[in-house]
């Protein structure tokens, strides 16, 4: 240990957990290719990873999880602050002292017979003033491999920790000790008991029992959203948001605008982040697909994508819906819970049409026959974990240590009625209200009733770490920053349906670049909009308005896309009122004032 680091804090953190978890071995990860090779070979031998056909997917592997360990466990995800009210009604609260004790009890001997990996990593480019380092202790080599892709992992980050003297400590175990040398290990060890606990006051993350995604890759949701969200609140003028970041470039003028976007799960966030423009004058590039860390630099919010990879949902991703995601996972990718083809490639629902009779192995390792098997071949939450540098449209500034200046923020949800295709908030405060009242109709991909509306403020419902009322106030405080040039805030809905039928009336996907163009022009001061009771709607089909040229949209469809219907909005307002009230007494009065104003405007219709 003394050879590994001279940092006392780091040494005592690692020693504490070695003593508690009693691993057989400890490996300090350096992030090198040689280390990677050794670990991959071990995992292939243990049956955790299946090497894919190198002619089809070079340097790529398939992992299949335990069937009871397939997604984030929201009910077992808790925030530990001394005062329950500080956690608020949208997060699960637990007492910090008691929970730490409970976690330490679970941790006792939990790595018996296993290797403990000590993983130094940086969220954001190493050394950037907007980045932070973390240490993840884990007994899952799969987690280590995934962290190699999702974060900047290894010696450079360790050196930066030693230089700065600080890091976010995270501990993870699959909770499956090997009690005797003869015990056969599982290809995906995990535990029925799962707990993902956060201690925002000390920046600690303690996770037990799951090897999957956000439960186990601690840099992502646990650190980059929950712990960093609390750090941002403490710091006062920074933000950690569940947002993609993209760059729109006008090829004629060379001007660029950066747009951040918050969308709940299953709303096409990765597709939006990587979309190919259908407008010849606009080129779109990706900075990130999931998380944005923002901070004021010279009066403007600058953002970095703290991640280095994509942990994307596979089903529904195809060369027609998202060719850039498909290219990102052509090589160097770890797939989890997708299906395996006979020639050792991967397949998932929505990737391509299969000839009836095609044989696959499904995610549960069973034979699966196209046209005959009834259950999906890939789990609905199956994933690809791919390096961002594989994506052919990464913005050249995506690793700029100073981040990119954000010109606009877009909120969106999946709504079949009421909400127009796009509208703009009147100002930051109104924009905060739009984010605070957003939500989405549930899809089959998550628990709950399909089609039911779930409020999901700023798409942060599962990723909060403090009282949501205080979080809204933090947004208002950001907007009140003296002399700041704030991003403009928009709301989009690609999912409006024709009345009475299940048909979407907006083509979506690449055609969403038309919305980007309007946002670009509004930011630039040339976009044309009109005041409406709900905010600023675009003029349509005029210079500076929403460009619908070549789409052959019926006038009726355009009217439907932008109508503000009194009855629908009265129902909407009633639901906003209910959710704002349910968020508790700390919801800022200013948001209720926004609601009153909206109600008055609608009642005048
Ligand atoms: C994700 C999510 O996996 O938001 O990114 O659930
Ligand atoms: Mn996400």
Q: What are the tens digits of pLDDT across the range 206-244?
A: 999 999 999 999 999 999 999 999 999 999 999 999 999
337 pocket-lining for ligand 1 (C-beta < 6 Å)? no
Per-residue confidence (pLDDT) for residue 500, from 0 to 100: 60
- Ligand 1 pocket check: which of 71, 72, 382 to mutate, most ligand atoms within 8 Å of Cβ? 72
Walk me through the domains of the chain, giving residue ranges and CATH numbers.
Answer: 8-30+72-235 (3.40.449.10), 240-305+398-603 (3.90.228.20), 310-390 (2.170.8.10)
215 pocket-lining for ligand 1 (C-beta < 6 Å)? no
265 pocket-lining for ligand 1 (C-beta < 6 Å)? yes
User: Which position among 80, 222, 267, 385 bears the catalytic label?
Assistant: 267
Tokens read off for 528: 């044309």
**Residue 2 pLDDT greater than 80, yes or no:** no
Please compute the mean of the pLDDT values over residues 489-503 and round it to a whole number. Answer: 89
Per-residue confidence (pLDDT) for residue 444, from 0 to 100: 57
The confidence band for 567, taking pLDDT boundaries of 50, 70 and 90, is very high
Ligand 1 atom nearest to CA at 265: 4
- Asked if 562 and 421 touch (Cβ cutoff 8 Å), the reply is yes
Please compute the mean of the pLDDT values over residues 583-590 and round it to a whole number. Answer: 98
Q: Whole-angstrom Cα distance, residue 308 to residue 303? A: 14
Burial of 375 (0-12, 13-18, 19+ CB in 10 A): exposed
**Least confident interval from 327-331, 490-494, 499-503:** 499-503
* pLDDT 10s digits, 313-365: 999 999 999 999 999 999 999 999 999 999 999 999 999 999 999 999 999 99
Per-residue confidence (pLDDT) for residue 445, from 0 to 100: 53
In percent, how much of the chain has pLDDT > 70? 98
- Report the b/e string of 90-114 with b at 16+ CB within 10 A: bbebbebeebbebbeebbeebbbbb
**Residue 19 pLDDT greater than 70, yes or no:** yes
Dihedral sign computed on CA atoms, order 18, 174, 336, 268:
negative
Pairing of β 292-297 and β 300-304 = antiparallel
The confidence band for 69, taking pLDDT boundaries of 50, 70 and 90, is very high
* pLDDT 10s digits, 122-161: 999 999 999 999 999 999 999 999 999 999 999 999 999 9
381 pocket-lining for ligand 1 (C-beta < 6 Å)? no
Per-residue confidence (pLDDT) for residue 181, from 0 to 100: 84
Return mean pLDDT, the chain: 96
Which ranges of 171-284 would DSSP assign to H, the alpha helix?
213-216, 228-235, 269-273
Residue nearest to atom 2 of ligand 1 (CA): 265
**Residue 266 pLDDT greater than 80, yes or no:** no
Catalytic site includes residue 222: no
* pLDDT 10s digits, 449-468: 777 889 999 999 999 999 99
């Amino acid at each position: 240990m003394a050879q590994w680091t001279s940092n006392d804090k780091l040494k005592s953190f690692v020693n504490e957990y070695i003593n508690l978890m009693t691993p057989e071995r400890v490996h300090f990860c350096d992030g090198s290719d040689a280390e990677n090779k050794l670990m991959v070979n071990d995992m292939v031998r243990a049956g955790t990873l299946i090497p894919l056909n190198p002619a089809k997917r070079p340097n790529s592997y398939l992992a299949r999880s335990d069937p009871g360990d397939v997604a984030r466990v929201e009910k077992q995800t808790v925030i530990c602050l001394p005062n329950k009210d500080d956690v608020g009604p949208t997060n699960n609260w637990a007492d910090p002292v008691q929970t730490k004790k409970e976690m330490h009890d679970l941790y006792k001997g939990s790595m018996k017979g296993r290797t403990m990996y000590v993983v130094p990593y940086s969220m954001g480019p190493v050394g950037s003033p907007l980045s932070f380092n973390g240490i993840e202790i884990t007994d899952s080599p799969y987690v280590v491999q995934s962290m190699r892709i999702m974060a900047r992992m290894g010696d450079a980050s360790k050196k930066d920790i030693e230089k700065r003297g600080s890091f976010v400590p995270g501990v993870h175990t699959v909770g499956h000790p090997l009690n005797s040398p003869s015990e056969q290990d599982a290809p995906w060890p995990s535990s029925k008991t799962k707990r993902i606990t956060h201690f925002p006051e000390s920046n600690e993350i303690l996770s037990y029992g799951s090897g999957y995604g956000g439960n186990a890759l601690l840099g992502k949701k646990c650190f980059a959203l929950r712990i960093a969200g609390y750090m941002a609140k403490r710091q006062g003028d920074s933000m950690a948001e569940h947002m993609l970041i993209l760059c729109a470039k006008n090829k004629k003028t060379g001007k660029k605008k950066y747009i951040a976007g918050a969308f709940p799960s299953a709303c096409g966030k990765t597709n939006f982040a990587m979309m190919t423009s259908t407008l010849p004058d606009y080129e779109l590039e990706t900075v990130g697909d999931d998380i944005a860390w923002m901070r004021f630099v010279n009066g403007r919010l600058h953002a970095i994508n703290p991640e280095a990879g994509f942990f994307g949902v596979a089903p529904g991703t195809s060369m027609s819906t998202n060719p850039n995601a498909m290219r990102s996972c052509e090589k160097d990718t770890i797939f989890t819970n997708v299906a395996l083809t006979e020639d050792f490639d991967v397949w998932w629902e929505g990737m391509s049409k299969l000839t009836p009779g095609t044989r696959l192995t499904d995610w549960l390792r069973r034979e699966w026959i196209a046209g005959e098997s009834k259950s999906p071949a890939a789990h609905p939450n199956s994933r690809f974990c791919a390096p961002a540098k594989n994506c052919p449209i990464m913005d050249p500034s995506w690793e700029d240590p100073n981040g990119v200046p954000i010109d606009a923020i877009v909120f969106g949800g999946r709504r079949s009625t009421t909400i127009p295709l796009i509208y703009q908030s009147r100002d930051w405060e109104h924009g905060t209200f739009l984010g605070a009242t957003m939500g989405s109709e549930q899809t089959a991909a998550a628990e709950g009733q399909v089609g039911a509306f779930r409020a999901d403020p700023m798409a942060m419902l599962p990723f909060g770490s403090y009282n949501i009322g205080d979080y809204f106030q933090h947004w208002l405080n950001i907007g009140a920053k003296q002399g700041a040039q704030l991003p403009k805030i928009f709301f989009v809905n690609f999912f409006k349906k024709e009345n009475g039928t299940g048909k979407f009336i907006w083509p979506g996907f690449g055609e969403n670049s038309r919305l980007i163009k309007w946002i670009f022009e509004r930011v630039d001061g040339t976009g044309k909009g009109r005041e409406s009771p709900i905010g600023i709607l675009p003029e349509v089909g005029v210079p500076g308005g929403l460009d619908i040229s070549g789409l052959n949209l019926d006038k009726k469809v355009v009217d439907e896309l932008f109508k503000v219907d009194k009855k629908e909005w009265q129902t909407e307002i009633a639901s906003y009122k209910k959710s704002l009230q349910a968020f508790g007494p700390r919801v800022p009065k200013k948001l209720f004032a926004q609601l009153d104003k909206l109600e008055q405007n609608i009642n005048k219709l």
